[in-house]
Amino acid sequence: MKERLLAGLGPVLGFCLFCLAILILHHELERFHFHDILAHLNTIQTGGVLLAFCLTILSYVALTGYDALAFRYIHNDLPYPRIALASFVGYVFSHNIGLSFFGGSAARYRILSSWGIKPAEIARVIAFNLLTFWLGFLTLAGVLPVLAPVSLTMLAHAPFTSSRPLGITLLLALVAYVVWSASRTEPMRVRGFEITLPRPAMTATQIFLSSIDWVLAAGVLYVLLPSAQGLSFTTFLGIYLLGQIIGVISNIPAGLGVFETVLVVLLSPYLSGAVVLGSVVAYRIVYYLVPMGVAVLLLAGYEILQRRRMLKRVLDLVEQWVPEVAPRALALTTLMAGVVLLVSGAMPVAPDRMAPLGRLLPLPVIEISHFLGSLIGVGLLLLARALQQKVDAAYFLASGLLGAGAVASLLKGFDY
């Protein structure tokens, strides 16, 4: 009962944070209009967008380093191109859908398992990547508030007026982990699984990779923001980290709404809410949506390649049955077209269609079209049997008569 209660607290907390974020956003942006946000989007320079795309590419390359290091950790020599594919698709889905199993972990498992990677190894890779993610965050989120603290006075009911105490706490947590992992020689046991903690050299590489990734991801949004007096990249990076981590804790896909709220509130001394929100919209397109489109295409291509044998069998089956089915289908549709032309020729025309047609064409042409339509219908009925018997001449004659029947139908009263 207790485990079920704890499991249900996550979604409830995320929903509450989302509702709170919407209320704060509404309060902060009530004096702005939607067209203000769109106006700022139009002012973003092309150079800034191109630079944001370049930083996005570098950020996802750094993320593939997480997995490359993780495979070294589990002593698996899977080639880097395969690691990069699984890593990119996995992280894109994690960013857009969330850190749940149905996000990046499921995509990563689907790809890696098809290459023979065991589920236990995949679980160790995912756990290692999660550790790398948090080590980089603890490093930057600890160092930045100490060197360049951010004022938290605009956040209601915040326990601190400055982010420095939070930074010191995170640094102490980081140092405690590094010392503990370096001094522990025996593997940890968690529910029957043995976990060997990374050695100090690998831990330092994890911190470096994750820190680079965080800096690059923050740089994507920073170059999309207009220049503001007093807003250095160091200050912005601390605000960005706080917004991202609150978004992760909220368990809302991509921290939607929560991340924006933190940025709008904490950047209010430097930029207006509409400007910040417009830049965040551009950031989400560049860093989230465009990579998502690329990842979907890569995943689709991968699935097609994985099932190429099955697709070949399907194509062989189609190739086997089409010569038998196609003549019968063509014969049936040709027969139906002949019947339609005969019935149409016997039916009276619509007067409202005849009036404009009479002004364009002489009466003999209209009358002949009735006769020709019926005659073509009879011809199609006769050719249907020849089509079923795969007579080449019947195919060409039927094609010509169908085109002529369409013209005759239009000439006798726009009978489309």
pLDDT at 27 over 50: no
pLDDT at 101 over 60: no
Is residue 244 within 8 A of residue 255, CB to CB? The reply is yes
Q: Which domain holds residue 293?
A: 2-306
- Per-residue confidence at 221, pLDDT binned at 50, 70, 90? very high
- Least confident window among 26-40, 85-99, 315-329: 26-40
Domains in the chain, number: 2
Distance between CA atoms of residues 383 and 398, nearest Å: 7
Quick check: is 312 in a domain?
no
Q: How many residues does the chain have?
A: 416
The alpha carbon of 82 is separated from its chain's Cα centroid by a whole number of angstroms, namely 20
- 222 in a structural domain: yes
Q: At what angle do helices 233-250 and 2-29 cross, to 10 degrees?
A: 130
| Whether 226 and 139 share a structural domain | yes
Let me know whether 283 and 226 are in one domain. Answer: yes
Q: Which segment of 7-21, 36-50, 319-333, 345-359 scores lowest on mean pLDDT?
A: 7-21
Tokens found for residue 6: 């704890």
What tokens does 261 get?
A: 């709220």
Mean pLDDT of the chain: 79
The token pair at 229 is 């007096």
Kindly report the backbone phi and psi dihedral angles of residue 320, in degrees, each rounded to the nearest multiple of 5, phi listed first: -75, -35
Domain for residue 314, yes or no?
A: no
Helices 164-183 and 119-147: crossing angle in degrees, nearest 10, is 140
Residue 174 neighbours by CB under 8 Å, 6+ apart? 135, 138, 139, 142
Indicate whether 26 pLDDT > 80: no
Pairing of strands 193-195, 188-190: antiparallel
Q: Nearest-CA neighbor of 69 among 93, 87, 57? A: 87
Q: Is 316 a member of any domain?
A: no
Last-in-domain residue among 306, 337, 360: 306
Domain termination residue (choose one: 306, 341, 357)? 306
Greater pLDDT, 191 or 409: 409
- Say whether both 241 and 345 belong to one domain: no
Please give the pLDDT value at position 25. 45
Q: Is residue 74 part of a domain?
A: yes
Residues 144 and 229 both lie in one domain = yes
Residues 88 and 31 reside in one and the same domain: yes
Instruction: Please determine, for residue 1, whether its predicted confidence score (pLDDT) is greater than 60.
Output: no
**Is residue 205 assigned to a domain?**
yes
pLDDT band at residue 160, thresholds of 50, 70 and 90? Answer: low
What is the predicted pLDDT for the residue at 222? 93
Residue 317 in domain: no
Inside any domain, residue 36: yes
Whole-number Cα distances in Å, 227 to 44, 48, 270, 392: 11, 11, 9, 72
- How many percent of the chain have pLDDT more than 90? 15
- Whether 161 and 16 share a structural domain: yes
Considering the domain architecture, whether residues 288 and 329 belong to the same structural domain is answered as no
Domain edge (last residue) among 244, 275, 306? 306
pTM score of the predicted model: 0.66
